[in-house]
């Protein structure tokens, strides 16, 4: 019996792109977009495995292939020793999946009716279904509004119904695609606590997210994915440790432009620079990765002051997964 819940080997997905010229003409030359590019990874039983990457990196395509919704161009995905392409029905019996977005449940049905429907579609009916539904409604704090139609629920409640739906058949493995996307901070926090509780029950969880804090907080191991390729895979702690020679310097500046950026890039030891404008504070936040940065901080400050720029704040931060991503790709997760 395999010790891995999920084994993905050389998985690849290509999509044909149809481009149009004007109203009717279609380019005859076929272009291929590689959404997932020959990725391999294993998820151990009982762990939370995070798939971290920006939008369009290939996270959802990967989990759709694992959950049998999409046929891979090549490679294999094995769930508890069962091939997803060859025996999809058996795979679906041990998988619970929550896809991104709040429309994966019926808004015109009540929370209870949704669970009744998906219980029956998983072969659970009668008294057994009722007991399970009552338990899940109570556990996910939906019991008081279980008989109202879902359209009246908040986004957080809809997401909890979707999670309850995925757990209705008591699956060994749970796949969650951007589970906290679109939730307010409190609802996101509550859902993350629920996910950790579900893990404590011994279930394996494959989670995709583009929120680094979420990946950091929940995952035992993380694969960072960009442009369809896995570019790093380890525990969050080890990924961050890999940057221990890099200092993360954050400057808050009045102005920021490309010529200043070029000037800073010229300082030895500067590895990556990312910047964003804070609309509320009306200032630029510039994050600079420097190898052995303590030796070059003077150079950095001198260069910025020489451009007549005003430094509003200055701090040195501990590396985060965002910094790991920047270090690997030279860009921010938000870009």
Partner 1 sequence: MSILIPIFSVVKKEWRIMLRYPSWFISFIIWPIIFPFGYIFTAKALSGMESSSLAQFQSIAGTTDYVTYMLIGTTIWMWNNTMLWSFGSSLRMEQMRGTLESNWLCPIPKISILFGYSVSQLLMSLIYISLSVLEFMIFYDFKFVGSPLLALLILLVSVPSVYGLGFIFASLVLWVKEANSMVFLVRGIISIFCGISYPLAVLPSWMKPISKFIPMTHSVNALRAVISTGATMDDISGEMLFLIISGIILMLLGLLAFFYTQRKAKTLGSLGHY
Nearest by Cα to 11 from 40, 54, 33: 40
- Smallest separation (angstroms) from partner 1 to the CB of 230: 20
Q: Looking at beta carbons only, is 6 or 288 nearer to partner 1?
A: 6
Selected binder of partner 1 within 82, 95, 288, 324 (CB under 8 A): 95
**Does the protein bind partner 1 through residue 217 (CB under 8 A)?**
no
How far, rounded to the nearest angstrom, does the alpha carbon of residue 215 sit from its chain's CA centroid?
7
Quick one: 13 or 287, whose CB is closer to partner 1?
13
Is residue 123 involved in binding partner 1 (CB under 8 A)?
yes
**Please, which residue, 120 or 316, has the CB nearer to partner 1?**
120
Contact 190, 162 (CB under 8 A): no
Choosing from 56, 101, 266, 268, the residue that interacts with partner 1 (CB under 8 A) is 101
Q: Taking CB under 8 A as the rule, does residue 89 contact partner 1?
A: yes
- Does residue 280 bind partner 1 (CB under 8 A)? no
Find the part of the chain contacting partner 1 (CB under 8 A) among 91-99, 207-215, 238-246, 303-311.
91-99
| 3-class DSSP state of 30 | coil
Stretch in the footprint of partner 1 (CB under 8 A) among 49-57, 87-95, 198-206, 266-274: 87-95
**312 touches 254 (CB < 8 A):** yes
| Of the residues 70, 248, 273, 321, which one makes contact with partner 1 according to CB under 8 A | 70
> Alpha helix (H) ranges present in 201-293?
212-218, 236-241, 258-265
- Check residue 93 for interaction with partner 1 (CB under 8 A): yes
Q: Does 107 bind partner 1 (CB under 8 A)?
A: yes
Pick from 2, 125, 238, 306: which binds partner 1 (CB under 8 A)? Answer: 125
Whole-number Å distance between alpha carbons of 262 and 4: 47
Q: Which segment (21-29, 112-120, 211-219, 240-248) binds partner 1 by CB under 8 A?
A: 112-120
Q: Which stretch binds partner 1 (CB under 8 A): 88-96, 134-142, 195-203, 235-243?
A: 88-96
Angle at 216 between CA 212 and CA 295, to 5 degrees: 75
Among 40, 46, 69, 311, binds partner 1 (CB under 8 A): 69
Tokens coding 156 = 């957080």
Distance CA 23, CA 217 (A): 49
Q: Check residue 193 and give left, alpha or beta (phi > 0: left; psi -120 to 50: alpha).
A: alpha
17: contact with partner 1 by CB under 8 A: no
Please, are residues 326 and 240 in contact by the beta-carbon 8 Å criterion? no
User: For 149, which DSSP code?
Assistant: B
Tell me if 17 sits within 8 A of 33, measured CB to CB.
yes
Q: Does 152 bind partner 1 (CB under 8 A)?
A: no
DSSP H helices, the chain, are 59-66, 88-94, 111-121, 126-139, 155-167, 185-200, 212-218, 236-241, 258-265, 297-306, 321-329
Q: Which residues bind partner 1 (CB under 8 A)?
A: 13, 15, 61, 64, 67-71, 89-90, 92-93, 95, 97, 99, 101, 103-109, 113, 117-118, 120-123, 125, 149, 165, 169
């Amino acid at each position: 019996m395999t010790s891995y819940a999920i084994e993905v080997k050389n998985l690849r997905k290509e999509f044909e792109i149809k481009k149009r010229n004007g109203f009717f003409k279609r380019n005859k030359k076929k272009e291929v977009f590689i959404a997932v590019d020959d990725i391999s990874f294993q998820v151990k039983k009982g762990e939370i495995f995070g798939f971290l990457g920006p939008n369009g990196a290939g996270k959802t395509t990967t989990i759709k292939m694992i959950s049998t919704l999409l046929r891979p161009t090549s490679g294999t995905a094995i769930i508890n020793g069962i091939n997803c392409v060859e025996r999809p029905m058996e795979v679906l019996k041990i998988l619970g999946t929550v896809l991104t977005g709040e429309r994966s449940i019926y808004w015109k049905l009540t929370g209870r009716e949704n669970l009744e429907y998906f219980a029956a579609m998983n072969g659970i009916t009668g008294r057994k279904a009722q007991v399970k539904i009552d338990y899940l409604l109570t556990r996910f704090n939906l019991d008081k509004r279980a008989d109202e139609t879902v359209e009246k629920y908040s986004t957080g409640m809809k997401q909890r119904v979707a999670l309850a739906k995925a757990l209705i058949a008591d699956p060994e493995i749970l796949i969650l695609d951007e589970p906290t996307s679109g939730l307010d901070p409190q609802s996101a926090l509550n859902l993350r606590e629920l996910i950790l509780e579900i893990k404590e029950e011994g279930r394996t969880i494959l989670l995709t997210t583009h929120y680094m804090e979420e990946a950091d907080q929940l995952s035992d191991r993380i694969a960072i994915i960009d442009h369809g390729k896995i570019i790093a895979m380890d525990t969050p702690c080890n990924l961050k440790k890999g940057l221990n020679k890099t200092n993360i310097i954050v400057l808050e500046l009045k102005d920021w432009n490309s010529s200043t950026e070029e000037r800073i890039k010229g300082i030895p030891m500067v590895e990556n620079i990312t910047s964003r404008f804070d609309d509320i504070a009306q200032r630029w936040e510039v994050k600079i990765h420097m190898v052995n940065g303590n030796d070059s901080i003077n150079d950095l400050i001198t260069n910025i002051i020489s451009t007549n720029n005003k430094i509003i704040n200055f701090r040195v931060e501990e590396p985060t997964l965002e910094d790991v991503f920047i270090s690997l790709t030279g860009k921010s997760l938000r870009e």
